[in-house]
Structure 1
Amino acid sequence: MPPTFTPSPLDLAPALGRAVDEERLRTRVDAALARFLDRQDAVLASISPDLLPVAAAVRDLLGGGKRLRPAFCYWGWRGAGGDSSDEGAVAACAALELLQAGALVHDDLMDRSDTRRGLPSAHRRFEALHADRGWRGDAARYGTATAVLLGDLLLVWCDELVWDCGLDLAAVRRAKPLFDLMRTEVMAGQYLELLEPAAPRPEGAAERARTVAHYKSAKYTVERPLQIGGLLAAADPALTSGYAAFGLPLGEAFQLRDDLLGVYGDPAVTGKPTGDDLREGKRTLLIAETEEHCGGADARLLDELLGAPDLDEVRLALLRGVITRSGAPERVEARIGQLVAEAVAALDQVPLVDEAARRVLRRLTDAATARRH
C-alpha cells in the first residue's frame, strides 16, 4: 500500500479564529466593512438598480474569510504603540480585506475555480445569473468579464477606504507608500506564478517557487500588513525591520501550508475545490520537490497530468500518489517547521512597544501554520 499524507490544517480554524478575534477584532473589522459597503451600496444603487447583484456579490464574498491580514496589520499597529480603541486604525486594517477579496476574484478567474468560501466563485456566479435569466450572448464570457470588473472595483475600494479610514492624514501618508508597494508585489507574484507552468525551466525550480511564494503571499499576508500597521502608528526603522524578520518566514510557512491544502485539503472545510493547483500546473515548492525526487513511471505521470485542466478525481488521485511517494509533503512539512522556528526566534527579538502584541502574534503564528490531526 502506498504511503498516505492527509494534513488537516483547517482543524486549526477555531484556534485561528480565536487568535484573530482578540479584542473583538473580527467583529470590529466586519463593522468597518459594513459601514463602508453601506456607503458604496448607495452609490451603486444611485447609478442603476442593475448593479444590485454586484453589491450582493461583494457582501457575500466579504462575509467569509479568516481576516488574517487585518489581524497582522492591527497587531503591527498595537506593537508600535497604537491605541487599541482607535476605530480609524481598524478601518485601515479592514481595507486589506477589500484588497484580498479583489485578488481572490481575479485569482479564481485565472485558476478557473468553481467555488470560493463555500459559494460559487464570482465568474461562476455571474455566469449562472446570465443563464438563469435567459440573457443573450455567451454566459461564460459574461461571467468572466463581470469578475474582472468586480475585482477591479474591490481594488479601487481598498484604496478609498485607506484614505477615508478616519486616521490622521499624516499617519495614512506614512503607510501608503508601503501599501502601494505591497500591491505591486502581489501582482508581480501572481504574474510569476502564471509564468512558471507556461515556460517551465528545469533548473532552479525550488528557488523560483520560493520567489513566487514570497511575493504572491508571504509578504502580502504577514510582513507588509505588520509593517503598514506599524507605520500607521509611527513605528521606527528597528521595529519595521523586526516585523520583516518575523513576518517573511511566517508568511512563507503559511503559504506552504496552503499549498499542501490545495492538494490534500477537504473542500468542505477549505471552501474551494481541492486539486485546482494541480489542474493549473502551479509550480509550488511541493511540486518542485516532487519533480526532483521522482523518476521513471512517476515522472512520466507527473509530466502527463500536472496542468491538465480536465483532471477528474481518478487522475487527481494518481497525481497525489506521485507527490506522496516522492516524499515531497514531508520535506515541505520540515520546511514549514524550520520557517516557524525562524519566525518565533525573530519575534522574540522584535522591539515591540506593547507586549500584548507579542503574545497575540505568537498565537497567530501557531494557529496559522500548525498541522493538526
Structure 2
Amino acid sequence: MAGWHAAGGGEAAPVVRAAAELELFHAFCLIHDDVMDRAATRRGQPRGTPSGAEGRKRAGDERARAWLGTCSAILAGDMALARSEELLDSAGQLTCRRTALRHVVEAMREEVMYGQHLDLLAPFSPATDLDTALRVIRGKTAKYTIERPLHAGAVLAGANEPLLASLSAYALLLGEAFQLRDDLLGGFGHPRRTGKPVLDDLREGKHTVLLALACQRADPTQHRLLRRLVGDPALGEDGAAHIRDVLEATEARATVENMIVARSTQALAALGAAPCPPATTAALRRIVARTTERTA
C-alpha cells in the first residue's frame, strides 16, 4: 500500500488484491519456513498438530501426530501459494501494469527461495562466515519482506525506475535491520512477546550474523562452549544462558545493535531523498521504528 501511494496511486481499491496476494504468499513462506526450522509455534500458537482425544486416537503415537502436523503444514502452505497465484491472475489492472506486477512477484519468489536455500546450506559453512549470514538476510528477508512489496504497489501505480531505485535504497537497509533485530530476539527475546520459543535458533544452530560475530571473536574456551552447545536439540535454559554470556562478552550483541542503528539511520536518509508524497514518507518512517525497535 505504501508503494502504491509513493508512486501517486489514488483510491486504494485497485491495489488491495495485489496486497492480499502478497499476504498469502507471505503465509506460504512462513508455514514452510516453520516446517524446515522444525518450529513448534508461530505467533504464540501451535504450528498445527492435532489436539484432543479424537486427534490422539486418529493420529496414534507422538511421532505419528508430529508427522501429521508436518504434512498438514505443507498442505496449508501449498494452498496459500495456490490462492496467492489466483489473486495475482485476477487483479483487475491494465495489462501493462499487471505484467509489471508479475515481473516483480516472480523476482520476489526467486529471491526468497534462493535466500531460503542459502539458509539451509549456511550451517555447512564455517561458523565465522559473516558474509554468508549477510547474504541470507538480504535474499530471505530484505528483498522479499520490504523491497518487493514496495515495488509491487509502486509499479501498479505506474512508478518509474528512479522511484523504484529510491525505494530499494530504503527497503534493503530496513530489511536487513529488521532481520538483525529478529536474530537478537531469537536469542534474547521473551516468548510471551515474540510468540515463539527463544531457544529455537540456538537449538537449530542457525547461522546468524550474531553467532558469526561471536565465533570470530571468541577465545578458545568460548569456542569450545559454542561448538558444544549451539545446535544441540536438547539445549536447555542453563546452556542458553552460557551462550548468551559469550554473545555479550564478545560484544556480538552490541555490534548487532549498532548495525541495526546504522542501517535504520541510512534507510531514513535514503527515504528523505526519495520523491515520495509527505504522507507516504511519514508512514515509511513509522515502519522503520516498528520493525527495528520492536520487542516481538
Q: Could you tell me the TM-score, scaled by structure 2's length?
A: 0.93
**Residue of structure 2 equivalent to 1:176:** 102
Q: Percent identity?
A: 41
- How far apart, CA to CA, are the structure 2 residues paired with 1:129 and 1:186? 39
Contact 1:98-1:157 at 8 Å conserved across structures: yes
**Residue of structure 2 equivalent to 1:120:** 46
**Residue of structure 2 equivalent to 1:150:** 76
Contact 2:25-2:80 at 8 Å conserved across structures: yes
Evaluate the alpha carbon distance shift between residue 102 and residue 130 of structure 1 in structure 2; reply closer, same or farther with a 3 A threshold. farther
- How far apart, CA to CA, are the structure 1 residues paired with 2:229 and 2:20? 40
Of the structure 1 ranges 98-107 and 139-148, higher mean CA displacement relative to structure 2 is found in: 139-148
Evaluate the alpha carbon distance shift between residue 336 and residue 168 of structure 1 in structure 2; reply closer, same or farther with a 3 A threshold. same
- How far apart, CA to CA, are the structure 2 residues paired with 1:169 and 1:240? 20
Q: Which among 258, 263, 281 is matched to residue 187 of structure 2?
A: 263
RMSD: 1.9
- How far apart, CA to CA, are the structure 1 residues paired with 2:259 and 2:83? 36
Of the structure 1 ranges 325-334 and 354-363, higher mean CA displacement relative to structure 2 is found in: 354-363
Q: Does 1:312 align with 2:236?
A: yes
- How far apart, CA to CA, are the structure 1 residues paired with 2:53 and 2:109? 31
- How far apart, CA to CA, are the structure 2 residues paired with 1:152 and 1:272? 23
Contact 2:203-2:234 at 8 Å conserved across structures: yes
Superposition map of 1:1-373 within 5 A: 74-83=1-10, 85-122=11-48, 125-126=49-50, 131-135=55-59, 138-197=64-123, 199-201=124-126, 205-352=129-276, 354-370=277-293
Q: SS of the counterpart of 1:333?
A: helix
**Post-superposition offset of 1:308:** 1.2
**Post-superposition offset of 1:139:** 2.1
- How far apart, CA to CA, are the structure 1 residues paired with 2:240 and 2:127? 23
Any gaps of 5 or more consecutive residues in structure 2? none
Evaluate the alpha carbon distance shift between residue 135 and residue 106 of structure 1 in structure 2; reply closer, same or farther with a 3 A threshold. same
Deviations 1:73-111 (A, max 9, x none): x1111010111x332312211221111111111111111
Any gaps of 5 or more consecutive residues in structure 1? 1-73
How many residues align structurally? 293
- How far apart, CA to CA, are the structure 2 residues paired with 1:130 and 1:219? 43
Q: Could you tell me the TM-score, scaled by structure 1's length?
A: 0.75
